[in-house]
C-alpha cells in the first residue's frame, strides 16, 4: 500500500512539474492585457485569405464594381459576409416567386439591381477603432453618400466578466437613419488592423445582416 501511495504522489508531482514547465513555455497563456489583431495584408487580401472563404462572394461583388482600391484605401470597412449576400438573394427570389414559382434570382441579378454604392455604404474615410468610438449613436457619412450611425454598447452581463474586469463592448452599425425603427447590425468581429495598422480597419458584420442598398 505504501508503495502504491508513493507512486500516486510521484505521478502527481510529475504532472505538476510538467504543468509548470508548460506554462513557462506557453507565454500566450499569460494575460498581458488587451491585444490588437494586426496583419501585414491589405484589407482585400486579408478577406481573400480567409481559411473558410467567408468573403468570396463579397470579393466577387467588389471586383465587379472595381472597388478593390477603394476598399484598400478606406479608413474603415464594415464587411458583410457571404451569408449576408446570400440572405439578400434568397429574399429577392422568395419575393419573385410569389408571382412566378420558377423565378430565379442570381448574383448577376444583384449586379443588375444594385449600384456600386451597395458596397460603398460599408466604407468610411474615418478610421474607427473600438476604443475611440462613442457609446452614443454617432452619425458618419459613408463613401456611398449615405448616412449611418455607429455605436459601441457596454455589456453589463456578469458572464462577460468571469475571467476579466476589462470592459466589454459590442459595436453596432445602424442603417436606415431616420426610419421609425432603424436596423441595428452587430459586429461579430472588430478591430482588424490591416497593413500592420496603417491600412483599412476591418469590422465584420453579423451573418444575420442582409446585404442591400440603402434607400435614404
Flag whether pLDDT at 27 surpasses 60: no
Residue whose C-alpha is closest to residue 190's, from 148, 153, 145 = 153
Between 7 and 126, residue with greater pLDDT? 126
- The owner of cell 462613442 is 134
Q: What is the DSSP letter of 40?
A: S
Bridge partners (DSSP) listed for residue 124: 76
Which pLDDT score, from 0 to 100, does residue 184 have? 94
Q: Report pTM.
A: 0.82
Instruction: Name the residue ranges covered by the structural domains of the chain.
Output: 1-30, 35-205
- Dist CA 174 CA 165 (whole Å): 28
Q: What pLDDT digit, counting tens, does each position of 86-119 carry? A: 999 999 999 999 999 999 999 999 999 999 999 9
Q: What is the DSSP letter of 154?
A: E
pLDDT class for 19, splitting at 50, 70, 90?
Answer: very low
Q: What is the DSSP letter of 54?
A: T
What percentage of the chain has pLDDT greater than the value 90? 75
Residue whose C-alpha is closest to residue 111's, from 54, 73, 47, 63 = 63
C-alpha angle with apex 179: 177 to 182, nearest 5 degrees?
A: 65
Bridge partners (DSSP) listed for residue 154: 169
- Dist CA 68 CA 35 (whole Å): 28
Class of domain 35-205: mainly beta
Amino acid at each position: 500500500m505504501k508503495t502504491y501511495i508513493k507512486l500516486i504522489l510521484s505521478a502527481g508531482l510529475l504532472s505538476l512539474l510538467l504543468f509548470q514547465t508548460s506554462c513557462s513555455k506557453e507565454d500566450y497563456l499569460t494575460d498581458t492585457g488587451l491585444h490588437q489583431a494586426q496583419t501585414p495584408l491589405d484589407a482585400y487580401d486579408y478577406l481573400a485569405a480567409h481559411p473558410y472563404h467567408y468573403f468570396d462572394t463579397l470579393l466577387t461583388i467588389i471586383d465587379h464594381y472595381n472597388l478593390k482600391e477603394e476598399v484598400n484605401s478606406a479608413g474603415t470597412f464594415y464587411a458583410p459576409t457571404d451569408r449576408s449576400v446570400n440572405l439578400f438573394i434568397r429574399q429577392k427570389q422568395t419575393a419573385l416567386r410569389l408571382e412566378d414559382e420558377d423565378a430565379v434570382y442570381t448574383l448577376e441579378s444583384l449586379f443588375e439591381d444594385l449600384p456600386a454604392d451597395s458596397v460603398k455604404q460599408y466604407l468610411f474615410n474615418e478610421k474607427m477603432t473600438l476604443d475611440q468610438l462613442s457609446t452614443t449613436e454617432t452619425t458618419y457619412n459613408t463613401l456611398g453618400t449615405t448616412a449611418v450611425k455607429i455605436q459601441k454598447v457596454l455589456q453589463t452581463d456578469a458572464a462577460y466578466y468571469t475571467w476579466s474586469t476589462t470592459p466589454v463592448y459590442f459595436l453596432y452599425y445602424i442603417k436606415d437613419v431616420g426610419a421609425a425603427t432603424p436596423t441595428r447590425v452587430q459586429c461579430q468581429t472588430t478591430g482588424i488592423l490591416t497593413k500592420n495598422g496603417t491600412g483599412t480597419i476591418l469590422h465584420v458584420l453579423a451573418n444575420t445582416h442582409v446585404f442591400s442598398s440603402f434607400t435614404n
